[in-house]
Amino acid sequence: MERRLIRKTRGLCPSCLAETDAELYSEGGRALIEKTCPVHGRSQDVADPDAELYLRCASGRANRPSRYGLVIPVSYACDLSCRWCYLPERGREFAVDSIKAMIASSPARHIVFSGGEPCLRRELPELITHVRRAHPEKRSVLLTNGLRLADPSFAALLKESGLDYCILSLNGFRPATHEFFNGRDLSAEKAAALRNLKRLEIKTILSMTLARGVNEDELAAVVRFGLGNMDFVRQLRLRNVSDIGVHSPRERIYMSDMLRLASSATGFTLEEMFGENAVSNRRGATVNYFVMNVFNLLRRRARTAAAPGPAFWLAAASRAGLAGALRMALEPELPPEERTTFNLEIFSWPTAGGADLEEIRKFPIGHVSNKGEALPFWEALFSNDRERLRAAKDGRPSIP
């Protein structure tokens, strides 16, 4: 079986998470990454079972673009006990003044308040208001499970505080799906949160985590829901389960798998999707991040990019409903991020063993680690896991 070196890079030992030299190569149609840890020896992991699609997603950039967003964990408390959790610590939280300093020092335009569950942080409204008043050039984003947003008064408080966007986890609609991921049926709470977000006109991003054999067949329904509610839902974000933080053994879903699932759910070919990713995701494209604007794809398919004609609007109505298509047609010209549209974003979370560090460091979103360092997104999470391993070995908490 022919083995071809793609490039030299940096990787992680899957046992101790130490950074080491690595080689990315293709063999038998797969993209593989191989590295040697001075302590644990040689290891080989699958970066993606489809080397061709993996490489088509690669950034092609020499340097990381300017940071688009920064994720700040403002709470380590949570009101759920999920099967997968990339931030399972339950320790001391960052002080409000420290969080404000992180916001001030970051070049990122979007400040994402996460956790744990950020809605459990008492000062969350204060932090949202701080972004609006002290940094009007930035946008506040809430990454939440949505349970507190089921309360109309709490949702209204966040709106009044100045919340710009909400990323709401929605892994499907079946009670069994909620029970698998979160330990109990959250259907009523999720529905109430969505009603409140819609009523308050808070721009919403749905975040769907895919687990093989559990909810892939619900993707089309979640896409239809998003397209049918474009008055407040602007994006659907797909991600796979990962071995970062607390996790359960599961057959992995890769970027190539999610691309094919997205193609099936939306009716667009892979060629159409890659053409759109090259346009909408010029600055952010990596092997772990793919973006497609559904209505740009429709325009291309209708071949009326400058002035969409009947074919475009019929296609739009078939996906978004008549009301959604009319809203697009009648809405006045606004900045791109404010227009009625629908993006599908795919985040392929790497395993420690399969991580191509040089590539994931080009992802334009940062994350604050448990130590308070603003690092490239997945590098911060691997840093947390590395500290978790060391703390367990030393018999101490990973967060004081």
Who contacts 171 (Cβ-Cβ below 8 Å, separation ≥6)? 177, 178, 181, 208, 209, 210, 215, 218
Sign of the four-CA dihedral 284, 101, 115, 236: negative
Which residues on adjacent β-strands are paired with residue 32?
25, 46
Cα angle: 19, vertex 362, 98; to 5 degrees: 80
Q: Please write the tens of the pLDDT for every residue from 230-287.
A: 889 999 999 999 889 888 788 899 999 999 999 999 999 999 999 999 877 777 789 9
Backbone angles phi, psi at 289, to 5 degrees: -145, 120
CATH number belonging to domain 69-347 = 3.20.20.70
Q: What is the Cα–Cα distance from 25 to 4, expressed in whole angstroms?
A: 5
Helix ranges restricted to H, the chain:
51-56, 96-105, 124-134, 152-161, 175-182, 187-199, 219-228, 255-266, 270-280, 294-302, 310-330, 357-360, 377-394
pLDDT at 307: 61
Tell me, what DSSP letter sits at residue 247? -
Give the global pTM: 0.93
Residues 6 or more apart whose Cβ sits within 8 Å of residue 282: none
Output the DSSP codes for 186-229: -HHHHHHHHHHHHHTT-EEEEEEEE-TTTSGGGHHHHHHHHHHT
pLDDT at residue 334 in the model: 58
Strand 19-27, strand 365-368: pairing:
unpaired
How far is 172 from 243, CA to CA, in rounded Å? 21
Model pLDDT, residue 317: 78
Phi, psi for residue 331 in degrees, rounded to 5: -65, 135
Give the span between the Cα atoms of 366 and 125, in whole angstroms: 22
**Any idea which residue has 């892939």 for tokens?**
216
Nearest to 390 by CA among 374, 375, 370: 370
What pLDDT is recorded for position 297? 84
Give the torsion sign (CA, 128, 133, 135, 139).
Answer: positive
Helix, strand, or coil (residue 66): coil
**Which residue ranges in the chain fall short of pLDDT 50?**
none
The reported pLDDT for the residue numbered 2 is: 87
Sole residue written with tokens 């992802």: 363
Which helix (H) or strand (E) element contains residue 376?
Answer: strand 374-376
